[in-house]
């Protein structure tokens, strides 16, 4: 267990040290869980208040929130400081050294230096795994997969044929990379095609046969990407489904075949992106948002939670609602509804008078 001094922690967080006594810590906890060997993390008002009850001798706080009775490190960007501290204290899971006896590695596989393969890992024909990559238990790696350096593949991940993964990629438990795309065709126009063309559903063929369109492409994932647990990224029909460098994908996200996701995007849990969408750089897609197929969303856009996106949007858009519209238009719609509600209230207030006038006139 490694201990850190107050001076070391201040330097790591780029913070200002207010020192009351010598202190060394080996743990990081909220104030109420801290002891004398703990750095107390107090980055919001509630946790700052809890410092009065803590056993810790030192805390990290936002600028201007230094307590009087203990040492502290004041930081300008609390969340950034938290990231640095969590990275400092984080211990990555281990796959054990080398190749576990139960792992299956085909003869044509190329392994780099210091690769770790956990129990029951399968690495198929023609695969390549870069230096220092760790692959935990029960991972399947398909034919001709290429995985870069310093990657961490958690337990239960499935990586399909012809997938290319860059350096320093993290793939969390149970993710599926490179499964066949959800792509089908019928001999005659189906209900979806009729609805798009005619605006209604008619001439129903109850004997319609649905044929699967095979996926011959792959998935290409850039450097420094993280993919959450149980997320699915389907391979392209002919080309690659692509995920750009630095993009971070949460748990339970669905990315369809042929999609092209840009650099440094943030895609939050339960978002669904249908096939052949093009997403620019630095786009945020919030939880439970859904995108129809063949859309383009420009760089630096934000898609708000539960948005139903059925059309393309230019760069720097803030997209809200279902069906989704630009944020300004959404606000205008809300204002219009509020004005309509006020008008209805006014009408009801005069409704009896109006009805009485009508009755008098008829009489």
Active site residues: 257
Would you state the structure tokens that stand for residue 265, as one six-digit string?
A: 């995007």
Integer Cα distance of 128 and 138 in angstroms: 18
Q: How far is CA 223 from CA 241, 244, 256, 348, in A?
A: 15, 8, 20, 62
**Cβ density class 219-229: b for 16+ within 10 Å, e for less:** bbbbbbbbbbb
User: For 52, which DSSP code?
Assistant: G
- Strands 134-135 and 152-153: what pairing? parallel
**Cβ density class 173-189: b for 16+ within 10 Å, e for less:** bbbbbbbebbbeeeeee
Q: Judge contact between 61 and 67, C-beta under 8 A.
A: yes
H helices of 108-208, in order, are 191-198
User: For 99, which DSSP code?
Assistant: B
* β-pair partners for 116: 134
Residue 190's closest CA among 206, 169, 172? 206
């Amino acid at each position: 267990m490694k201990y850190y001094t107050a001076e070391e922690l201040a330097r790591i967080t780029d913070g200002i040290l207010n020192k009351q006594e010598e202190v060394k810590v080996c743990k990081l906890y909220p104030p109420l869980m801290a002891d004398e060997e703990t750095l107390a993390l107090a980055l919001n008002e509630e946790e700052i208040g809890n410092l009065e009850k803590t056993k810790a001798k030192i805390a990290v706080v936002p600028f201007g929130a230094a307590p009087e009775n203990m040492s502290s490190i004041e930081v300008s960007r609390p969340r950034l400081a938290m990231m640095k501290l969590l990275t400092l204290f984080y211990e990555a899971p281990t796959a054990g050294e080398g190749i576990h006896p139960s792992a299956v590695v085909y003869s044509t596989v190329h392994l780099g230096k210091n690769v770790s393969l956990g129990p029951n890992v399968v690495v198929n024909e023609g695969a390549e795994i870069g230096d220092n990559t760790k692959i935990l238990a029960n991972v399947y790696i398909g034919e001709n997969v290429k995985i870069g350096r310093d990657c961490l593949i958690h337990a239960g991940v499935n990586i399909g044929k012809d997938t290319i993964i860059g350096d320093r990629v993290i793939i969390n438990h149970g993710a599926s990379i490179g499964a066949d795309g959800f792509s089908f065709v019928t001999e005659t126009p189906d209900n979806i095609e009729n609805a798009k063309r005619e605006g209604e559903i008619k001439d129903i063929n109850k004997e319609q046969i649905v044929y699967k369109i095979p996926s011959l492409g792959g998935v290409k994932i850039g450097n420094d990407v993280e993919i959450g647990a149980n997320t699915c990224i389907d391979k392209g029909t002919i080309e690659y489904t692509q995920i750009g460098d630095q993009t971070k994908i949460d748990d339970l996200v669905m990315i369809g075949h042929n999609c092209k996701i840009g650099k440094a995007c943030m895609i939050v849990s339960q978002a669904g992106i249908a096939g052949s969408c093009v997403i620019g750089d630095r786009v945020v897609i919030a939880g439970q948002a859904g995108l129809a197929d063949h859309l383009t969303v420009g760089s630096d856009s934000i898609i708000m939670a539960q948005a139903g996106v059925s059309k393309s949007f230019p760069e720097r858009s803030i997209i809200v609602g279902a069906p989704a519209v630009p944020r300004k238009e959404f606000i205008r719609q809300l204002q219009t509804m509020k004005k309509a509600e006020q008008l209805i209230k006014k009408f009801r207030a005069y409704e009896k008078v109006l009805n009485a006038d009508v009755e008098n006139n008829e009489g």
